[in-house]
Structures are given as structure tokens and as C-alpha cells.
Amino acid sequence: MTPKARILLVEDQYFFRLTLHTTIDPREDMLIAGETGKGEEALPLCRRLQPDIVIMDLRLPGLSGFDAIAQIHAELPQIAILVLSNYEGSEDVHRALQAGALAYLTKDSAGDELVHALLAVRAGKRYLPPSVASLLATRVPGSQLTDRELDVLRLLAKGSSNREAADSLGISENTVRIHVSRILDKLGAADRTQAVLLALQHGLVHPD
């Protein structure tokens, strides 16, 4: 008899964890071995519990889901990671997969699809529903922005002027102009407004 797949939940919304329990607990082939609402607790729990699968949210207090995925994948690559998140930008999907996730579902996915994805990742297979795969295919070419360019882009999304962005980041206004020019080139945007719209659409930045 195949042993039950041991699952660790990393999700800060208590009631959503309960929803996951209602889907997984009745199954004879799966077991929730542990859970936490904090990203920084994910790796220590993986070391202690040795789960087969981690269900990971991306928006977590403290350490982000992206960083938690990278930590787990670097130290315990045998653990399959399934992202279950409200983030739906193509850059979010790309970052999660690059960090080491095998599957990516949004939180409005049906319970049957979650089970299908869990079975797939337990077998070592990648799982992306058609909607997420299509979204990933629309990822902006050449959108590999540096950390500083992302900082500038986030401030542009908040409506900051070049001077305000410079003051906020402690750099010169001319340096901000250079960053903005590179952002436009990498995103293929005609102006700041289009750059912000593309960034929001593809998950490079998120509305507050």
C-alpha cells in the first residue's frame, strides 16, 4: 500500500487553511502533517516533518513565499512545492517556478483541481492549469528588471515624480531618469504610464 503523501501548509489565512483541510483530510492517500502562517517557519518545519509536498502561499507576513520556496528547494529539493495564491501576474508565476515550485494554482481553483495538482507534483510532474500556462506565455519579454529598477517602478506606480523617487531612494534625480529609461526599454513601454500598466498587468508590482 502506498504511504500517504505528507503535506505541509504554509498559509497565513486561518479560514483558508480550514478549507484545505476539508479537501485533503477525507482522502486516504494524503495527510496534512503540519501547518504555519509564517514564511520563516516553512524551512524549519520541512526539516522536522520531512513532508512530501508543501502548499505555499506567496503573500505571507515576514519572509515571502518566493523566498521560502527558494530556501526549501535549495536545501530539500526532494520536497515538491505547490503554490496556491491570489497573485495572478505572469511575473509571479515565473518567479515561483524559477524559485523551485512545481505547480501554481490560484485560490479560486476547485478542490478537484487541487487534488489533481497534488497527485501530479507527488509524481514529480509540473502542473499548471491552462489559464496559468496562458498567463505565463504572455510574460513580458526582457522584463528582467534589477532590484533598483523594481524599486523605481514601484514608486512610479504610486505616482511619484522623478524627484520624489530620488528622495525616497536616496539617489540623484538623474540616476532615476536613467533607471526609468531602462525600465521603458526592458518593458517595451512608450512612457511611464504604459510601463506602470504593464507592470500591474504582469505582476511586477502590486496595488496597495
Rg of the chain's alpha carbons, rounded to an integer?
A: 19
pLDDT tens digits, one per residue of 176-194: 999 998 888 888 778 888 8
- Kindly report the pTM of this predicted structure: 0.71
Question: Class for domain 147-201, per CATH?
Answer: mainly alpha
State pLDDT tens for residues 154-177. 899 999 999 999 999 999 999 999
Report percent pLDDT > 90 for the chain.
62
Give, as one character, the DSSP assignment of residue 13: -
**The residue type at 198:** L
Same fold, 5-137 and 147-201: no
pLDDT, position 89: 74
Sign of CA dihedral 44, 12, 20, 125: negative
84 bridge partner residues: 105
What pLDDT score was predicted for residue 105?
A: 94
| 5-137, CATH topology level | Rossmann fold (3.40.50)
CA distances from 99 to 16, 64, 82, 172 (A): 24, 12, 12, 33
Domain positions in the chain: 5-137, 147-201
Question: Smallest Cα–Cα separation from 144: which of 186, 198, 199?
Answer: 186
Grid cell locating 52:
512530501
Q: What is the chain's pLDDT, residue by residue, as a tens digit (208 residues)?
A: 678 999 999 999 999 999 999 999 999 999 999 999 999 999 999 999 999 999 999 989 899 999 999 999 999 999 999 999 987 677 788 888 889 999 999 999 999 999 999 999 999 999 988 888 777 766 665 557 888 998 999 899 999 999 999 999 999 999 999 999 888 888 877 888 888 888 887 777 776 6
